[in-house]
Amino acid sequence: MKKNNVKQFKINPLSIMKELGHRIETDKFLPDEDFWDDRLYWMKRNYNSDVDRYKSKNTKDKKRVLYYDLETINQLINQILRFGRIVMSNENGVVYNFPKGEIPKFIVDLDGSQTNTIEENMMDSVSIKNED
């Protein structure tokens, strides 16, 4: 039997998952609108402003890049939880990977608060899972 060796990873998988879990738990109170952007496109567009950091061997820079990457994964997971998919857009910012009529409209309530569908979507996924 082969022994699973966690040391083969640069970063402990458990610490990554704990950090992501913490971010997702914290961000569940943010409005859906905060996650309505194409994060991967944004990262590519802004790469040149941080190219030195990405290519650096400095420990501080590597930690910063890890922070960027974890925030990207957090954004993508939040998009799946809230919208049922990852938001993709063209260079003009037009989202193109949602069915016609299913692009969310962000509602601002009379008291100024924004609608947050994460709880609703999580409930829907629980009921879908129970139907299987």
Left if phi > 0, otherwise alpha if psi is -120 to 50, otherwise beta: which for 112? Answer: left
Ordered per-residue pLDDT tens for the chain, 132 residues = 556 665 688 899 999 999 999 999 999 889 888 999 999 999 999 899 999 999 999 999 999 999 999 999 999 999 999 999 999 999 888 889 998 878 887 755 555 555 555 555 554 544 444 454
pTM of the predicted model, to two decimals? 0.75
Domain parsing of the chain, residue ranges: 11-127
Q: Buried b vs exposed e over 37-54: b needs ≥16 C-beta within 10 Å? A: ebbeeeeeeeeeeeeeee
